Amino acid sequence: MSMDIDFVEVKRDWCEKRAATYVAGGDSLHLAHSSALREWEMSDLNRVCLAMMALEEAHAAQSRQIRVVEKFVNERPGFVTALQGCSGDDSSDYYRWTGHAESRRQLAEDLQWTNPHHPGDRTEPKPVSEG
């Protein structure tokens, strides 16, 4: 969702242009900048910029969460491999590895992602079936 908009620069440009109109009207530079800044705080453009920054932050947070979930699901092949290497002597290891592998499989299914099984497999969204 990167829009490459520098909101600080938008604010600065807007305030400089608005202050220039005050200076042209005879106000001091200090008063012009104060007035422009007060107008910026009340402007629709300021509200739009704040909303866009909030959306970008939310998108970044969601992207981080998705990477954490992907990492969790992509650990499944290691547990499948450990499960395949279990001997019948230690049932606690068998159930531990089964639980880890199964929880990752269930999460992938719930998210409609593929289930990695073999080492090197990675999860990805399942293709949307049209029907």
- The model's pTM is 0.68
The pLDDT value recorded for residue 1 is: 47
pLDDT digit string (tens) for the chain, length 131 residues: 456 789 999 999 999 999 999 999 999 999 999 999 999 999 999 999 999 999 999 999 999 999 999 999 999 999 999 988 887 777 888 888 999 999 999 999 999 999 999 999 999 999 887 65
Q: Retrieve residue 80's tokens.
A: 């499948």
Q: What is the H or E stretch that residue 11 is in?
A: helix 7-24
Report the alpha-carbon distance of residue 52 to residue 42 in Å, rounded. 16
